[in-house]
A and B are shown apart, each in its own frame.
Chain A
Amino acid sequence: MNEILIPLAYLVASVLFIMGLKGLTHPKTAVRGNRLGATGMLIALVVTLFDQHVLTFEWIIAGLAVGALVGAILAAKIEMTAMPELVAMFNGFGGIASSLVAGAELVKFAGGGSIGAIPVAQFTIAAGTSGLIGMVTFTGSMIAFGKLRGLVSTGVVTYPGAQIVKILFALACLALIVMIVMDPGNIQNYWILMAAAAILGVLAVIPIGGADMPVVVALLNSYSGIAAAATGFVLNNTVLIIAGSLVGASGIILTMIMCKAMNRSLANVLFGTWGDSAQSSMPGADEIYEGRIKTTSAEEVAMMLDGASSVIIVPGYGLAVAQAQHTVRDLSNLLKANGTDVKYAIHPVAGRMPGHMNVLLAEADIPYDELVEMDVVNPAFQQCDVAIVLGANDVVNPVARDDPNSPIAGMPILDADKARTVVIVKRSLSPGFAGIPNPLFAADNTLMFFGDAKKNMLDLVAAIKDS
């Protein structure tokens, strides 16, 4: 009986996963969608406990209890700014779990256990793939976590022959998979594969700069799905294959979106470094800024905003670092009460993972329909009286559009420079991740409002209330 009921329950779970992801296509249905996914997972988990192969429960209960407790605490406590780290970490855990399952199945097989009706070649190839991808996902995610937390150097770490070492490790992993397929009884090979894949994951992520971590996290997200799907081939289990491939597809799409937003190929993110070329032809910072910087004050900006009918706010990660989201919301509420139209222009790489800025602003109760995507908001800058750029830099740098020799040439940017007046809230003239000066700061229609984003916003709100 169970032989029919369990697969049927897995089918229900798969359908719930698909419906759950579909729910995520709109903010209104997203909460329900996520719950559908969680329900699918619960169904799959519970019916598995009735599988005839599950004989003892003490270790299962221990793992479930500890994992659920720690997971729940992390999920409840994490700050929204640290979301990329948390996603990277969870991702890694999913990856290593897949590798461990494949290892356990190989041990069973080597000890004479049955693998059911599936061909030995499918079993071993899938197990090797799961071991490789799962461990690369695990250590790669841990390094990404370390970089996002600032525990591991966020710089671009390279050494001579780095690419060759990586290729050698990748080839060694493939050779080990071949050895596992040829001689599945020799379980030693699998442990060596796990170790080699773990080193490969570290080597692959450590050279990548902190600014590129969103792409890496999205790609590793995809890998964790592929590892789960590979484990599905090990166990002959369709729900693992379906769920794994859904996640694999999702991660790939997000990776592509992030690459496009930075105008870089995936290969360039993974193997190249930013700003290798053409830097010499760029004018220096002094040459651009000298004598052209105009500063402003809270009172002046308040007066300007009083007469403005349309304001666009361009939030960057600096805003989140300064924890100024709530003050910005207060400012926009004041402006709206005054009859001013307020929008937020969101660049795809505004936060530290896809859609991160939207989460940070949503946390501050800023309605999602005021957050406008780049392509939609860009034409609006021309009719905009004041653009306030808060802690963003490279994503409003007009050289990306105007100077084909700049390192960020061709990167899609927000056309904040087209606004009648641009107010830049920033601590100093220091460059962003791309390491290049921004001519927008020296433009005729730009005013620099130097200082901490939160303090400046508080001053501005006070100045508007006073006037």
Chain B
Amino acid sequence: MELLLLLTVFVLAIFVGFEIITKVPPTLHTPLMSGSNAISGITIIGALLSAGSDHNQITTILGFLAVLFATLNVVGGFMVTNRMLEMFKKKD
């Protein structure tokens, strides 16, 4: 049952994604890509759980590397998207 619920969420989220993303104008496709890229860094949550689990050395090392890569992805992605979008603001 649990798996079915997760699959339901998965499929519905894909539809939501299609609906929203098709409305993004071509002008914003680059920020869309870098911004959605940052969102895919959500895997950082899993990385935190692995790095902090204190299970054994291997999981800690894998977790640490995952936290490092995912943080780069998240922080860099949102910041560079913000930098680009600020340029699209109308100058007064």
Which residues of A does B touch, CB under 8 Å? 17-18, 20-22, 24-28, 30-31, 33-35, 37-38, 41, 44-45, 48-49, 51, 53-57, 59-60, 62-64, 66-68, 70-72, 74-76, 78, 80, 83, 86-87, 90-91, 93-94, 96-98, 100-105, 107-108, 111, 113, 117-119, 122, 217-218, 221, 224-225, 227-229, 231-251, 253-254, 257, 346, 348, 351, 353-356, 358-359, 362-363, 365, 367-368, 371, 373
In Å, the complex CA distance between A122 and B29 comes to 34
Q: How many residues of B contact A (CB 8 A)?
A: 82
In Å, the complex CA distance between A247 and B77 comes to 13
Residue of A nearest to B75 (CB): A71
Assess A71 versus B6: contact at CB under 8 Å? Given A59-B51, A104-B66, A107-B59. no
Task: Please tell me which one of the listed residues A26, A28, A59, A90 contacts residue B64 in the complex, with CB atoms under 8 A apart.
Answer: A59
B69–A60 CB distance below 8 A: no
Assess A80 versus B84: contact at CB under 8 Å? Given A107-B56, A245-B13, A249-B18. yes
Top 4 closest A-B pairs, CB basis? A67-B71, A249-B17, A355-B29, A63-B67
A346–B76 CB distance below 8 A: no
Task: Please tell me which one of the listed residues A25, A48, A98 contacts residue B24 in the complex, with CB atoms under 8 A apart.
Answer: A25
In Å, the complex CA distance between A57 and B54 comes to 9
Assess A107 versus B55: contact at CB under 8 Å? Given A63-B47, A101-B63. yes
Query: In the assembled complex, which residues on chain A have CB atoms less than 8 Å from the CB atom of B9?
Result: 238, 241-242
1/0 contact trace for B62-92 toward A, CB 8 Å? 1111111111111111111111111111110
In Å, the complex CA distance between A113 and B53 comes to 10
User: Looking at B15, B84, B86, which has the most chain A CB atoms within 10 Å of its CB?
Assistant: B84
Query: In the assembled complex, which residues on chain A have CB atoms less than 8 Å from the CB atom of B91?
Result: 365, 367
Assess A108 versus B53: contact at CB under 8 Å? Given A119-B3, A225-B36, A228-B40. yes
Query: In the assembled complex, which residues on chain B have CB atoms less than 8 Å from the CB atom of A103?
Result: 62
B66–A243 CB distance below 8 A: no
Distance (whole angstroms) from the CB of B63 to the closest CB of chain A: 5
B71–A101 CB distance below 8 A: no
B43–A90 CB distance below 8 A: no
Query: In the assembled complex, which residues on chain B have CB atoms less than 8 Å from the CB atom of A18?
Result: 16, 20
Query: In the assembled complex, which residues on chain A have CB atoms less than 8 Å from the CB atom of B58?
Result: 104, 107
In Å, the complex CA distance between A365 and B88 comes to 8
1/0 contact trace for B20-33 toward A, CB 8 Å? 11111111111111
Assess A54 versus B33: contact at CB under 8 Å? Given A59-B67, A63-B67, A107-B56. no
Taking A91-B73, A234-B46 as known contacts, 20 extra A-B pairs with beta carbons closer than 8 A to each other, sorted by chain A number, are: A17-B42, A22-B20, A24-B31, A31-B82, A31-B89, A53-B53, A68-B72, A75-B76, A93-B72, A97-B43, A97-B73, A101-B46, A101-B49, A103-B62, A246-B16, A246-B36, A247-B39, A250-B36, A354-B29, A359-B31
Assess A67 versus B40: contact at CB under 8 Å? Given A55-B54, A241-B9. no
A231–B43 CB distance below 8 A: yes
Assess A38 versus B70: contact at CB under 8 Å? Given A18-B16, A355-B28. no
Query: In the assembled complex, which residues on chain A have CB atoms less than 8 Å from the CB atom of B54?
Result: 55-56
A244–B40 CB distance below 8 A: yes
Distance (whole angstroms) from the CB of B10 to the closest CB of chain A: 5
B71–A71 CB distance below 8 A: yes
A21–B71 CB distance below 8 A: no
In Å, the complex CA distance between A211 and B20 comes to 28
Residue of B nearest to A54 (CB): B52
B10–A26 CB distance below 8 A: no
Assess A104 versus B89: contact at CB under 8 Å? Given A64-B71, A236-B6, A354-B26. no
Distance (whole angstroms) from the CB of B12 to the closest CB of chain A: 9
Query: In the assembled complex, which residues on chain B have CB atoms less than 8 Å from the CB atom of A228?
Result: 40-43
Q: Can you list 29 A-B pairs, Cβ within 8 angstroms, ordered by A?
A: A24-B24, A27-B89, A31-B88, A34-B85, A37-B39, A51-B49, A54-B48, A59-B67, A60-B48, A63-B51, A63-B64, A67-B67, A67-B72, A71-B72, A71-B76, A74-B76, A74-B80, A75-B79, A90-B38, A90-B73, A91-B40, A94-B40, A101-B50, A108-B53, A108-B55, A117-B2, A227-B40, A236-B6, A359-B87
Residue of A nearest to B35 (CB): A34
Residue of A nearest to B50 (CB): A104
B48–A35 CB distance below 8 A: no
Residue of A nearest to B5 (CB): A238
Assess A235 versus B35: contact at CB under 8 Å? Given A94-B70, A224-B40, A229-B10. no
A94–B73 CB distance below 8 A: yes
Residue of A nearest to B15 (CB): A249
B10–A71 CB distance below 8 A: no
A245–B17 CB distance below 8 A: yes
Query: In the assembled complex, which residues on chain A have CB atoms less than 8 Å from the CB atom of B38?
Result: 37-38, 41, 90
A353–B40 CB distance below 8 A: no
In Å, the complex CA distance between A445 and B65 comes to 59
In Å, the complex CA distance between A64 and B82 comes to 20
Query: In the assembled complex, which residues on chain A have CB atoms less than 8 Å from the CB atom of B41?
Result: 41, 90, 93-94, 97, 228
